[in-house]
Structure 1
Amino acid sequence: MVAADFTERSLDLDAEKEMRLVDNGLVTRRSILPGGIRVLTEEIPHQHSTSVGLWIGAGSRDEAPGSEGSTHFLEHLLFKGTKKRSAKDIAERIDYLGGGFNAATAKQYTCYYGHVFDEDLFDGLDLLTDMVTGARLSAEDMEMERGVILEELAMYNDDASEVAHEAIPAMVFQNHPLGRPVGGSRESVTALSHDRLTAHYGSKYRSNELVVTAAGAINHDQLCDDVLHLLEISGWDTSSPAVPSERRYASQIEYAQPTRQHLNRAVEQAAVVLGMPAMDLFDERRPVIFALNAILGGGTSSRLFQQIREERGLAYSTYSFPANFPEGGMFGLYAGCAPDNVSAVSELLGACLDDLAANGVTQDEVESAYRRVRADIIFDAERISSHMNRLGHAELIRGTLVSQDEQLRRSRAVTAEQITELARQLASGPRSLCTVGPQG
């Protein structure tokens, strides 16, 4: 087992099968179990609860043609019953354990998670493991849940902001799988067959794809024993060599040329999103784009908020956002406004970026940006669910675990010149504009 204090560095998670790390006094451990199951824990002193998650390294990006929406569909169906629990049994058990159970589907992974008292950790793990390994996935359940998912998609389709944020990745990323809506479309969900759904489950829900993360009141060795025991009785393979599935990436993104799209919706508030190519997840300038994001659209003193809301009163909500993936990235600017103001707001979004690129940022803005990024890092670390999520993201997506002090050091090192240079690069690239609202 590797024992290390990695306070001022990042650590390669693929270097060893057993690791014990120390970051600001917190002990983080990683083990690869038989069957290729990965278990990562972070013990946090003085906690009386544990956040635990079961992760599968497959999201909407990984769906085969004709199976779009199947990852999100499975998330729903795993709550509909297993070989030993009905849907009602699952619901009653969730409430009995405190109600802190849910699931999330993303472009790169699916996670089933719960927050329980330390004394209930085994029961919570048993419930989650049963759902992931023993899902009934009956054709009847699928047809019942299809209607629920279509209602969910219809709900989002009535929200101009949701529609715009779903549409802009496809415009910037062209036909890349990362441009797909996570939940699929009404057409793909309606057409999805039971055979394709179960085939997707069979290909992705396996021992060597499973990652278990936990943070809080946790005993790493006991958790490893419990995971192996529960998977053995479920019938999943725990006898093959400890070789996890390789981290899954798609091809590099080939960005689209500038394009404009208006989506007609009968809403009282329109949505405007300006999107452009940005760096990938592994680019060393990620701390720079976080600082740029804070200055341009990350708070009430940001350029977008001051220009669009405070000085002109054209929007209630306006902000910017980075989206970084291993295969590429995007930077976006958003505002929600009255339909009559869409044209003016669209121009202002681009103008704020252009002004920053042309005239740079002040040292006061750099300091304010650092303090906001620092708050995001530190405040996020005070939630045990964030520790659990951090471990899952590191294992499945980044392949490295970056210490809190190292994150702060990189953020502190960002300069005004770096921010201006990155703004110039973004401003000179192709921009795509998506507007959602009434026709005309």
Structure 2
Amino acid sequence: MYEKRLNNGLKIVEYPIDNAQSIEIGLYIKAGARYENKGDNGITHLLEHMHFRQLGNMKQKEIYEYAEKMGSTLRGTTYKEMLCFNIKVRPKYLKKSLNLFEKIITTYEWTEEQLKSEKKVVISEIREKEDNNENQKIIDRVIWNKHPLSNSILGNASNIKRITLQKLVQYKKKIFCKDNMLLVITGAINEEEIIWINKKFEAIAINECLQKINSNNMNDGQFKRKHNYLMKNYPEWNLINMQLIFDVDLKQIKENELLFFNSIVGGGDGSYLQQEIRDKRGMVYDIYSYGEIFSDKAVWSIVYSIEKDQLYLSLNVIVKMLKMLKTVISQEDIEKNMPFFTENLWYWTEGTKELNFQLGNDFIKNKIGLTINERIKENEKINYERMQKVAEIILKNKNMSLIAMGPIKGR
């Protein structure tokens, strides 16, 4: 793995993969709902869209055709803490595809008409997803209280309408700066190509980060919730959607430890939750858990849907199981799940996309980017005593919140 900060300040990571048949290119920028305030929430997502209206002298149709002639698609995605652009190409299209990323970094000119048209697209997307977004907003507010992580990625229609072209360009200049973005190239590249890539992107003028990006760091006061439960009655629903949420302090628990714990408890078909609630008792069609991890905080959730008359029984069974986890996690659990965190990481070299995204995500979270071998060594340090300790740290009443949505009344 080659990691370098070019003379113009741009940070770049190149990760050659032997025998790879493709190259994944990703540009990762610290931006998104976490870095937005109430008045401009949604601006990052709108900015993402504008890059598909025009890149340099290439109009929308030309951008699509340029990628299609390489047998690929340029992708843009906005997350809570990250804006990214990605493309996957055959090795012979490396230089051609990198032209798109040069244009993404250097394009600051759009027309009022283009902005007006793209606002309509974004507002249509917001309205199309309005019902689901409304429930997600409720869930996010319970989880993140008033912290900007509770902001919607898409924003709202009134915000989008108010964003001017000048404000959008100023915002791009603010976030597309030296210390705030990373270019990652993984796959079938060699040393000669790496030298060429570095020279190409070193010639680009990169903005200084004149204004510090507001990180909106999470403190304990923001993370604690006024209420640790939410019940919303939807009498027309057939099932009750349940979500049990636990706060996770990343100062006490490493990201890979949380992911390993999740795999044991509810992340796979052979997990404790799947075996007990679905396979043994047949109470639900599906039950799973997942971790939502950000730069300084994380939450771990259990999610399932259930018939109303099974609700209290399911909660009793789950709570009893969670209490037992502090002592029942065994060496057998470690051995069963370890391949997902060791051998399976080598699958990243087949697709190139997963590794590229992980390196970009590490940068966003201010973590050191690790090679696959280094990640495996970190995961191999995990043992059952540590997993029992992780269970003890996470599974406390003060850390838990509960959300129930469906045909439910009262408490």
TM value normalised by structure 1: 0.80
Is 1:395 matched up with 2:363?
yes
| CA 1:361–1:70: 2 relative to 1, 3 Å | same
Structure 2 Cα separation of the partners of residues 339 and 101 of structure 1:
45
CA gap of 1:409–1:262, structure 2 versus 1, over 3 A, is same
- The 1-side partners of 2:337 and 2:31 are apart by 34
User: What is the CA–CA distance in structure 2 between the aligned matches of 1:286 and 1:77, rounded to whole Å?
Assistant: 33
Equivalent of 1:333, from 283, 297, 302?
A: 302
What is the CA distance between 1:343 and its match in structure 2?
A: 5.1
Matched, 1:223 2:193: no
Q: Does 1:286 align with 2:259?
A: no
- Which runs of 5 or more residues in structure 2 are unaligned? none
Provide structure 1 residue ranges, at least 5 long, that are not aligned to the other structure.
Answer: 1-27
2:268 to 299, 322, 326: 299
Task: Kindly provide the CA deviation profile for residues 384-411 of structure 1, in whole angstroms up to 9, marking residues without a partner as x.
Answer: 1123223322333233123333332332
CA separation of 1:49/1:370 partners in 2, compared to 1, >3 Å: closer, same or farther?
Answer: closer
> Which sits farther off after the overlay, 96-105 or 359-368?
359-368
* Alpha-carbon shift at residue 126 of structure 1 (Å): 1.0
1:250 aligns with 2:216: yes
- 8 Å CA contact 2:10–2:206 kept in 1: the answer is no
Aligned length: 401
Q: Using the alignment, how far apart are the partners of 2:113 and 2:389 within structure 1?
A: 56
How far apart are residue 221 of structure 1 and its match?
0.9
Cα distance in structure 2, aligned partners of 1:164 and 1:376: 35
User: Does residue 114 of structure 1 match 2:87?
Assistant: yes
Cα deviation, 1:41-83, whole Å, max 9, x if unaligned, reads: 0111223421111222222211134111111111112111234
1:410-421 correspondence to structure 2 within 5 Å: 410-421=378-389
Q: Which amino acid aligns with 1:333?
A: I
Specify which of 117, 142, 149 is matched with residue 178 of structure 1: 149
Structure 1's 294 and 164: CA in aligned 2 closer, same or farther, altered over 3 A? Answer: farther
Compared CA separation, residues 164 and 273, structure 1 to 2 (3 A)? farther
Given candidates 36, 44, 55, the residue that maps to 1:82 is 55
User: What letter matches 1:76 in structure 2?
Assistant: H
Letter in 1 for 2:229: R
Counterpart in the other structure of 2:183: 212
Q: Which amino acid aligns with 1:223?
A: I
Contact 2:20/2:187 (CA < 8 Å) preserved in 1? Answer: yes
Q: 2:244 — aligned with what?
A: 274
**Closer, same or farther: CA 123–65 of 1 in aligned 2, 3 Å:** same
Change (3 A) 1:55 1:382: same
Instruction: Report the CA distance shift for 1:321/1:100 in structure 2 as closer, same or farther (over 3 A).
Output: same
What per-residue deviation string (whole Å, max 9, x for no partner) do you get for residues 355-410 of structure 1?
323x4323322221223333543333432112322332233323312333333233
Q: Tell me by how many angstroms 1:179 deviates.
A: 2.9
Amino acid at match of 2:168: L
Q: Distance in 1 between matches of 2:334 and 2:307?
A: 32
Contact 2:239 2:308 in 1 (8 A): yes
Q: CA 1:65 to 1:279, structure 2 compared with 1: closer, same or farther past 3 Å?
A: same
User: Aligned to 1:250, what secondary structure does the other structure show?
Assistant: coil
The equivalent of 1:10 in structure 2 is: none
Question: Contact 1:81/1:135 (CA < 8 Å) preserved in 2?
Answer: no
SS of the residue aligned with 2:284?
Answer: coil
> Please, what is the CA RMSD of the aligned residues?
3.0
Q: Distance in 2 between matches of 1:103 and 1:225?
A: 25
TM-score, normalised to structure 2's length? 0.85
Change (3 A) 1:80 1:343: farther
1:237 CA drift (Å): 4.0
Partners in 2 of 1:166 and 1:346 — Cα distance? 24
Distance 1:321 1:118 in 2: 35
1:52 aligns with 2:25: yes
Aligned to 2:289: 320
| CA offset digits 1:101-135 (Å, max 9, x no partner) | 20121222211111112221122111232234215
Shift of the 47–89 alpha-carbon distance from structure 1 to 2, 3 Å rule, reads same
Aligned partners of 1:252 and 1:328 also within 8 Å: yes
In 2, the alpha carbon distance for the partners of 1:340 and 1:186 equals: 40
- Which residue matches 2:324? 355
1:276 aligns to what SS in structure 2? strand
Q: Counterparts of 2:166 and 2:211 in 1: how far apart (Å)?
A: 24
Q: C-alpha displacement at 1:165, in angstroms?
A: 5.7
Which residue is equivalent to 1:73? 46
Sort the Cα spacing of 1:287 and 1:181 in 2 relative to 1 into closer, same or farther, 3 A.
Answer: same
Amino acid at match of 1:390: Q
- The Cα of 1:88 is off from its aligned counterpart by 1.1
Q: Using the alignment, how far apart are the partners of 2:60 and 2:87 within structure 1? A: 17
Aligned partner of 1:17 in structure 2 is none
Show the counterpart of 2:394. Answer: 426
Letter in 1 for 2:64: A
Q: 1:407 aligns with which of 362, 366, 375?
A: 375
1:4 — aligned with what?
none
Instruction: Specify the code of the residue in structure 2 equivalent to 1:318.
Output: I
Determine what percentage of the aligned residue pairs are the same residue.
Answer: 19
Question: SS where residue 73 of structure 1 aligns?
Answer: helix
- Alpha carbons 1:164, 1:435 under 8 Å: kept: no
Contact 1:215–1:384 (Cα < 8 Å) also in 2? yes
Match of 1:37 among 3, 10, 29: 10
In 2, Cα distance between the equivalents of 1:326 and 1:362?
A: 30
